[in-house]
Amino acid sequence: MKINGHYPKNVSNIYQKQQQNTVSKEKKADKNIITKDSLQLSPQAQQISDLVKKVEELPEIRAEKIAEIKEKLANNTYQVPAAKLAAKMLSKK
Q: Which residue has the higher pLDDT, 17 or 57?
A: 57
- Are the C-beta atoms of residues 48 and 54 closer than 8 Å to each other? no
Domain segments of the chain as ranges: 42-93
pLDDT score recorded for residue 35: 62
**Of the segments 6-15, 30-39, 58-67, which one has the largest average pLDDT value?**
58-67
As a whole number of angstroms, the distance between CA 82 and CA 93 comes to 18
pLDDT tens digits along 31-57: 556 567 788 889 898 999 999 999 888
Label residue 62 left, alpha or beta by phi (over 0 means left) and psi (-120 to 50 means alpha): beta
pLDDT level of residue 23 (50, 70, 90 thresholds): low
**Of the segments 2-11, 23-32, 54-63, 68-77, which one has the largest average pLDDT value?**
68-77
pLDDT score recorded for residue 20: 74
